[in-house]
Amino acid sequence: MKVLLTGNEAIAHGAYAAGVTVACGYPGTPSTEILESLAKYEDVDASWAPNEKVALEVGIGASLAGARALVTMKHVGLNVAADPLFTLAYTGVNGGIVVITADDPGMHSSQNEQDNRHYAKAAKIPMLEPSDSSEAAWLIEKAFTISERFDTPVLLRTTTRVNHSKSLVDASDERVQKEPSYEKDPQKYVMVPAHAQKRREVVESRMAALADYAEEFPGNRVEWGDRQIGFITSGISYQYVRETFPEASVLKIAMINPLPKRMITDFIDHVERAIVVEELDPYIEDQIRGWGLTVEGRNYIPGIGELNTEIIREALNEEEIEAPVEDVKTEEMPQRPPMLCPGCPHRGVFYTLSRMKLIVNGDIGCYTLGVMPPLNAMDSCICMGASIGNAEGMHKATGRKDIVAVIGDSTFVHSGITPLINTFYNQDPTTTIILDNRTTAMTGRQGHAGTGVKLQGENTKPLDFEQLTRAIGIESVQVIDPYELKEVRQALEEAIAQDEPSVIISQRPCLLVERSKNGPLMVTADNCIGCKVCLRLGCPSISWKDERAVIDTASCVGCGVCAQLCKSDAIVEYTQPDKGAGI
């Protein structure tokens, strides 16, 4: 049966068909929906881990026990999981294990743009890369076969465009049935140096065997056409090349590591010019050049951001290589700057931080939007869990106490606990604000250890942040309601006055998790003196019209934060739809 699936749904379906019984990951765009789709199958144990390293370690355990395991993460997550990954290459597997790295060219929702194809080479493991949903479903099954046949973890690399676009997938109900079996083998699985040194040689001969296999791998194929130009390409770039140059010869590579050297050499020998089209780094091109072959690519094709047919056409047109197919022009979409939602519980905290002119080290999550005007309440944001260490480092360098870290609840569980322990250990008087909105909001409201809900819907015991931080030894711990601006300010003043580390837990659910029961507010035009103080909040429901503030009652959730700022009592409950001035 053919069904229309996104790349993420197709990977989940393919993994299910391949007999995966354990799946683990940390949410991160563009990978999140893979695990959410797999969680719908009752005979799969799918779970969110506190971070990608733990997710991979869970997957490794399942694999060693003989189950097929899938581990999902976005590209930066692989940095976190790199430690167990590199050693897993040495131990090999028992049940097949596949790790998804979802790269984000163009940084649609990421703090950097990194090309994770390099991880496959560095870790000495095979990598596959699909060009669409159909191939994604097929490749994930192949990945498990390769994993078990060559006794290796397999990386499956996707990019945002493949993860989120849809194409037809043959989605049968067949599923590989595999009984886990385990045999103790410390020489293989216990990587003390004496064992690891022997496994190092196994890794090398495995890569040689995989290099031969790459020549026959059916995902690597030549599509012969006009031989004036031959394109060498993979992933989503293949689709762009095919659309722009439908008559050209194309070598499509689905096994990214190791590359099929003989196949590539033969292809280059049979075309007049060979051009590599690949997103981000010249990963394929550099290897081909390293073999002493002549190839073009990065001299035309940009290495920053996502490619598309227009970019490829224009880049090659400059070299007088004319694309026969015209692009379909799409209309320009209006620009919508990202901003915190109306009634977002983080707004009151950022407003207060901004008014107090504190130095704010931020972290990864939707609260990073506290950097946007008019709040402007963020000084740094580096990576998951970095805020607390950044704040501590700033304090060490300057001795200042007006330095805070803000970190979301999910991010705190991911990698905020260890740096908080460090502030306690060093007794650096930094203030950590845990913005606990009871969810992983930015990636689509996933649960985590603090929410009390597991991925497959069961309730569990929630982690208590107050008890946890007190158990670390931190004595100054306050729990506050971020809608109460006076409470927020008092807590901050008390915390930054301490000579030891302090924690503020700002607790209120994200409005996407728990809808506000309050009705909207409105501005009474007669009372509004046009001071614009309420505009400093940056709430999208408040705008400026005819020298007065106006509240959009359709989007206002009645959080009441703006009313606390208005000294003229001009912001009141919405009661008079006909007479209410300023609505």
Which lies closer to ligand SF4 via its Cβ, residue 136 or residue 539? 539
Restricting to residues 467-506, name those near ligand SF4 by CB under 6 A.
none
Radius of gyration of the chain (CA): 27
Both structure tokens of 229: 């130009």
Q: Give the contacts of 135 (CB within 8 A, at least 6 positions apart).
A: 219, 254
Q: What is 20-61 written as a DSSP string?
A: EEEEEE---TTTHHHHHHHTT-TTSEEEE-SSHHHHHHHHHH
Binding mask 287-326 for ligand SF4 (x = CB under 6 A): ----------------------------------------
Q: Which of residues 559-578 bind ligand SF4 (CB under 6 A)?
A: 559-562, 565-566, 568, 570-571
Site track for ligand SF4 across 406-425, x = CB under 6 A: --------------------
Q: Which of residues 168-207 bind ligand SF4 (CB under 6 A)?
A: none
Residue with smaller CB distance to ligand SF4, 93 or 528: 528
Q: Taking the complex as a whole, how short is the minimal distance between the CB of residue 547 and ligand SF4, in angstroms?
A: 9
Nearer to ligand SF4, 117 or 548 (CB): 548
Q: Closest approach of Cβ 358 to ligand SF4, in Å?
A: 21
- Report the nearest approach of ligand SF4 to the CB of residue 362 (Å): 21
Amino acid sitting at position 464 = D
In the complex with ligand SF4, the residue whose CB is nearer, 314 or 573, is 573
- Report the nearest approach of ligand SF4 to the CB of residue 196 (Å): 57
* DSSP summary character for residue 296: B
- The count of other CB atoms within 10 Å of the CB of residue 377 is 28
Residue closer to ligand SF4, measured from CB, 381 or 566: 566
Query: What is the helix, strand, coil percentage profile of the chain, to 5?
Result: 35, 20, 45
Residue 263 or 521: which CB sits closer to ligand SF4? Answer: 521
CA distances, 512 to each of 347, 370, 426, 557 (Å) = 15, 18, 38, 11
Residues 503-562 that bind ligand SF4 (CB under 6 A): 521, 523, 528-534, 537, 539, 541-542, 549, 551, 556-562
**Closest residue by Cα to residue 305 from 492, 105, 109:** 105
**DSSP per-residue letters across 447-478:** --TTTTB-TTS-B-PPP-HHHHHHHHT--EEE
* Identity of the residue, 343 or 447, whose beta carbon is nearer to ligand SF4 in the bound complex: 343
> Whose Cβ is closer to ligand SF4: residue 130's or residue 342's?
342
Q: Least distance (Å) from ligand SF4 to the CB of residue 512?
A: 14
Of residues 53 and 347, the one with the C-beta less far from ligand SF4: 347
Identify whether the C-beta of residue 412 lies closer than 8 Å to the C-beta of residue 435. no
Q: What is the smallest separation between the CB atom of 124 and ligand SF4, expressed in angstroms?
A: 53
* 225 forms part of the interface with ligand SF4 (CB under 6 A): no
* Strands 68-74, 97-103: pairing kind: parallel
DSSP E strands, 187-225 = 221-223
Measured in residues, the chain has a length of: 583
Find, among 357, 322, 374, the residue nearest to 533 by Cα: 374
- Contacts of 206-213 spanning 24+ positions with Cβ under 8 A: 206/92, 206/124, 206/150, 206/151, 206/152, 207/124, 207/258, 209/150, 210/126, 210/146, 210/150, 210/152, 210/258, 211/258, 211/261, 213/146, 213/150
Structure-token match 């990194």, residue found: 114
Contacts with ligand SF4 in 326-345 (CB under 6 A)? 342-343
CB 271 within 8 A of CB 290: no
Q: Which is nearer to ligand SF4, 109 or 553 (CB)?
A: 553
Print the binding letters for residues 343-372 with ligand SF4: x by CB under 6 A, - otherwise.
x-----------------------------
CB of 23 to ligand SF4, least distance (A): 38
Q: Which is nearer to ligand SF4, 79 or 553 (CB)?
A: 553
Query: Residue 523 Cβ, how far from ligand SF4 at the closest point, in Å?
Result: 5
Separation between Cα atoms, residue 235 and residue 574, nearest integer Å:
53
* Helix or strand holding residue 507 (H, E): strand 502-507
Question: How many residues at the interface with ligand SF4, by CB under 6 A?
Answer: 29
Tokens read off for 419: 């740096």
Q: How far is the CB of 432 from ligand SF4 (least distance, A)?
A: 25
When the beta carbons of 250 and 549 are compared against ligand SF4, the nearer one is 549
How far apart are CB 375 and ligand SF4 at their closest, in Å?
A: 12
Nearer to ligand SF4 by Cβ, of 41 and 350: the residue is 350
Cβ closest to ligand SF4, residue 317 vs residue 543: 543
Exposure of 90 by Cβ count < 10 A (0-12 exposed, 13-18 middle, 19+ buried)? buried
Tell the smallest beta-carbon distance from residue 275 to ligand SF4 (Å): 53
192-196 long-range Cβ contacts below 8 angstroms, 24+ apart: 196/87, 196/90
Of the pair 209, 529, the CB lying nearest ligand SF4 is at 529
Rounded to a whole number of angstroms, the minimum distance from the CB of residue 564 to ligand SF4 is 9
Least Å from the CB of residue 530 to ligand SF4: 5
In angstroms, the first-to-last Cα distance of the chain is: 53
- What's CA 458's distance to the chain center, in Å? 24
Tell me which residues in 113-172 interact with ligand SF4 (CB under 6 A). Answer: none
From the CB of residue 42, how many other CB atoms can be counted at a distance below 10 Å? 7
| Residue 343: burial class (beta carbons within 10 Å; 0-12, 13-18, 19+) | buried
Closest contact distance (angstroms) between CB of 519 and ligand SF4 is: 10
d(CA 72, CA 453): 19
* Beta pairing partners, 563: none
CB of 367 to ligand SF4, least distance (A): 16
Site residues (vs ligand SF4, CB under 6 A) = 342-343, 521, 523, 528-534, 537, 539, 541-542, 549, 551, 556-562, 565-566, 568, 570-571
